[in-house]
Chain A
Amino acid sequence: MNLRRKKEKRPKGGLTIAKGRFVLGITIPLLIYESLGLFVIGWALVLMFFNYSSGRLGGPILGLGGTNPFVGIDNFIEMFSGTSVEANLFRISLKNTLIFAFAVLPLNLMITLPIAYLLESIGERFKAFYRTIYFLPVLTSSVGVALIWLSMYDPQAGWINAIIRLFGGTPVSWLSDPRAGFAGVSVAMWAVILAYLWQDYGYNMVIFIAALQGVPQELKDTAMIDGANRWQTFIKITVPLIRPTMLFVCVMTMLSSFQVFDIIQVMTNGAPGNQTQVLMLDIYKNAFRYQRLGWAAAESFILFLLVMGVTIIQMRMLRTEWEY
């Protein structure tokens, strides 16, 4: 690299030219790439207004029109007030998704926060070991998790029922008994929730650990000197300080549970009788099994609104936290 010559040859504006070239060199391919992304999103938004199946030939542009007719907002009207099989399934899926998300959230918090606290409170000796083990399920592929729990829930030879029998209880057909339920939610859903929680608690746990580490020790010590016990210190001092993290965790947990797919598809695929069918699963089945792509696109849009709603709430709440 001949530095001297370059310095002499370039006028002062050369720097801007070089910069400009750099930027152009990046943004132009980027724009081309992103226009593909824009096209994809555009197609998604258009698709939901059609009754589209890729098995049919359809019209001239991208197969839209013709035997894949434009139906306007019929898909949406059908979803919320129709009586067809798909519409019923959509509403059931939506309900199940909400049940799943709202059940997972408190359970998750009730597990992860205490564990994080306990881990933070014990000495350094075993902390890393415990933390690694608790974190293992997070690193495991969802398919593996689903298969393992599928085996655990086997009504005859599974370990869960074996443990129940050991304690003298009646074994339950966890994943295929549609009658049994607890607190209005079917056992199959609880079974799936448990498996999901098992895989997921490591995640929030480490976030809480980091947050707890951020609480200054002096504050806690002062409180203890003043006579507070652990519980009071926790409630009055620690919790308020980690509120932003808690909010963040709540929102992230809800977002992932709205979009859960892998573990449910492998474990039950919606069974027994649609009791564990969640929205993402319904979208997948409609799009790729029944070839109702327009309908599936419409469902994706509803899920998208749900997710966006929660994200916006999160942004609002976190912003207020900062303004504090």
Chain B
Amino acid sequence: MTTQAVSTNTLTRRAKFKRGSFFESRFFFYLALTLGLIFTLLPFLMMIFSSLKTNTEVLRVPPTFLPDNPTFSNYLTIFNDPRLPLLRFYANSAFVAVFNVTATLFTSALIGYMFAKFEFPGKRILFGWFLTLMMIPSHITMIPSYLILAKLGLINSLWGLVIFSAVDAFGIFMLRQFCETLPNELLDAARIDGASEWQIFIRIVVPQLSAPLATLGILGFMGNWNAYLWPMIVLQKVEVRTLPIILTWYNSTHTGQGALVMAATVLITMPILLVLVYFQRWIVKGFVTTGLK
């Protein structure tokens, strides 16, 4: 068959395809996707609209869609509430997220690099140990970790919250894989030039790892920012709490004030949402390559 004939055939096929069933039409695709879009957006819209209504309007039956008299009074109440210093909670969450991410990225890179490029006795065992660790879900160590923190008096301390998360077996595994692709010649050349191992790591290896580090970093940031269970166990005093727990606390201390709670939800979830949307490409890449949730 000549190329000519093929293209004509393809064209005819495509023409036929265009007259195909409704379900294969572009229109249907867009329709289905748009319906899904509306369903996805509906709860967000509800949250935003409710935050602009008064507490009494939110209780109306049947409910209103758009606010009757949109008002920012709920936001003002929250900003003026002395028991809810939002900035401080943002700072708490930021501290936890930044510390954990920095610590795990650093240790994962260093240890991953070590496993990839160095031989030493016991390496197999140690690596096997990390592999096992990776598979153990965190909830099983939750209780004894809590007891240890209690004994050490680290409950209600942000340090206590992060101390167990400095080393992440999964990160080590990931970065080890990346490090294995680094050409040995590069490293040996640097050694010949007299660089110390440490300098090799910082100056040569780390820059090469920028992609996986960025991916793991943003994933870790998101996970830490939104973490709920462990912070809830460890942080019992209001001042040291992170944002998700503050939101639950605010909700339980303001029952029956739906609009106010929705405003708090907006203030606590939206800013970070916007940040994460900005970085979504990295996050998606992270999900796809690591399967990490």
User: Do residues A143 and B228 form an inter-chain contact, with CB atoms below 8 A?
Assistant: yes
Q: A224 at interface (Cβ–Cβ under 8 A)?
A: yes
Judge whether A115 and B136 touch: CB under 8 Å.
no
How would you classify the secondary structure of chain A's contact residues: helix, strand, loop or mixed? helix
- Chain B residues in contact with chain A, CB under 8 A? 9-10, 13, 17, 20-21, 24, 26, 29-30, 32-33, 36-37, 39-44, 46-47, 50, 58-63, 107, 110-111, 114, 118, 120, 126, 129, 133, 135-137, 139-148, 150, 164, 166-167, 191, 193-198, 222, 225-226, 228-229, 233, 243-245, 247-248, 251, 258, 261-262, 265, 268-269, 272-273, 276-277, 280, 283-284, 287-288, 291, 293
Residues of B within 8 A of A121 (CB): 29
Task: List residues of chain A with CB within 8 A of the CB of B13.
Answer: 224-225, 227
CA distance A308 to B10 in the complex (A): 50
One of A26-34, A76-84, A90-98, A102-110 contacting the partner: A26-34
Contact A148 B46 (CB under 8 A): yes
CB contacts under 8 Å to B, within A108-151, are: 114-115, 118-119, 121-122, 130, 132-137, 139-145, 147-149, 151
Question: With A and B bound together, what is the CA distance between A259 and B262 in angstroms?
Answer: 27
Identify which of residues 14-37 in chain A touch chain B, using a CB-to-CB cut-off of 8 Å: 15, 18-23, 26-27, 30, 33-34, 36-37
Sample 8 A-B pairs with CB under 8 A, ordered by A number: A26-B114, A37-B167, A44-B143, A144-B269, A203-B287, A206-B287, A229-B21, A303-B137
**Residues from chain A with Cβ under 8 Å of B261 in the complex:** 147, 151
| B229 touching A261, Cβ below 8 Å | yes
Could you say which of A147, A158, A225 has the most chain B C-beta atoms within 10 Å of its C-beta? A147
Docked-complex contact B288 and A210, CB < 8 angstroms: yes
Cross-chain contact B61 with A156 (CB below 8 angstroms): yes
A20–B114 Cα distance when bound, in Å, is 11
Q: Which of A114, A225, A296 interacts with B9 by CB under 8 Å?
A: A225
A165 x B62 contact (CB < 8 A): yes
Chain B residues with CB under 8 Å of A149's CB are 43
Since A34-B167, A148-B43 are in contact, a sample of 12 more A-B pairs with Cβ atoms closer than 8 Å, ordered by chain A residue number, is A1-B194, A22-B118, A41-B141, A115-B36, A122-B33, A135-B277, A141-B225, A141-B269, A144-B269, A256-B293, A261-B228, A284-B229
**Alpha-carbon gap, A54 to B146, bound state (A):** 11
In the complex formed, the residue of B with least CB distance to A315 is B135
Choose among B21, B63, B194, B273 the residue that contacts A139 (Cβ–Cβ < 8 A). Answer: B273
Instruction: Looking at the assembled complex, report how far the CB atom of B279 sits from the nearest CB atom of chain A, in whole angstroms.
Output: 9
Whether B63 pairs with A304 at a CB distance below 8 angstroms is: no
Residue from B193, B198, B228 within 8 A of A22 (CB atoms): B198
CA distance A246 to B164 in the complex (A): 33
For B288, list chain A residues within 8 Å (CB): 206-207, 210
Closest-by-CB residue of A relative to B42 is A159
Q: Which residues of B contact A241 (CB under 8 A)?
A: none
- Chain B nearest Cβ from A79, distance in angstroms: 16
Q: How many A-B residue pairs have CB under 8 A?
A: 234
A219 vs B29: C-alpha distance when bound (angstroms):
22
Nearest to A245 among chain B residues (CB) is B288
- Bound together, the chains give a CA A26 to CA B118 distance in angstroms of 12
> A22 to B197, Cβ gap below 8 A?
yes
Asked whether, in the complex, the Cβ of A141 is within 8 Å of the Cβ of B247, the reply is yes
When the two chains form their complex, are residues A144 and B277 in contact, meaning their CB atoms are under 8 A apart?
Answer: no
* CB atoms of A115 and B229 under 8 A apart: no
Q: Give chain A's interface residue range (CB within 8 Å of chain B).
A: 35 or more
Give bound CA distance, A269 to B155, whole Å.
24
Determine if B46 and A152 form an interchain contact, defined as CB atoms under 8 angstroms apart. yes
Is the CB–CB distance between A230 and B141 below 8 Å? no
The interface bits of chain A over 293-324 (1 if a CB of B lies within 8 angstroms of the residue's CB, else 0) are 10011001101100110010000000000000
> Looking across the interface, which residue of chain A has its beta carbon closest to that of B6?
A225
A283 in the interface (beta carbon within 8 A): yes
Contact A40 B144, CB 8 Å, known A122-B29, A141-B269, A157-B63: yes
- CA of A19 to CA of B114 in the docked complex: distance in angstroms? 10
- Kindly list chain B residues whose C-beta atoms are within 8 Å of the C-beta of A101: none
CB distance from A6 to the nearest CB of B (A): 5
Which chain B residue has the least Cβ–Cβ distance from A301? B140
Q: Please, how many angstroms separate the alpha-carbon atoms of A135 and B288 in the complex?
A: 14
Q: Does A33 contact B150, Cβ atoms closer than 8 Å?
A: no
When distances are taken between beta carbons in the complex, the residues of chain A under 8 Å from B41 are 133, 136
B137 and A141: CB pair below 8 A? no
**Pairwise interchain contact B137-A152, C-beta atoms closer than 8 A:** no
Please tell me if the beta carbons of A303 and B30 are within 8 angstroms of each other in the complex: no
The answer to whether A148 and B63 touch (CB under 8 A), given A1-B194, A135-B284, is: no
Of the candidates A147, A231, A300, A303, the one whose C-beta lies within 8 Å of that of B247 is A147
A70 in the interface (beta carbon within 8 A): no
- List, in ascending order, chain A residues with CB within 8 A of B243's CB: 141
A198 at the interface (CB under 8 A from B): yes
A3 interface hit (Cβ, 8 Å): yes
When A and B form their complex, which 5 residue pairs have the shortest distance between CB atoms, in order from nearest?
A22-B197, A144-B269, A43-B144, A3-B194, A139-B276
Once the chains are docked, how many angstroms separate the CA of A7 from the CA of B195?
Answer: 10
For B265, list chain A residues within 8 Å (CB): 144, 147-148
A311 to B136: give the CA distance in the assembly, Å: 10
CA gap between A3 and B20 in the complex, in Å: 73
- In the complex, are the beta carbons of A136 and B247 less than 8 A apart? no
Partner of B46, one of A21, A43, A159, A262: A159
A252 at the interface (CB under 8 A from B): yes
Interface check A280, CB cutoff 8 A: yes
A297–B114 touching, CB < 8 Å: no
**B15–chain A nearest beta-carbon distance, Å:** 12
Known: A18-B196, A40-B148. A140 touches B247 (CB 8 A): no
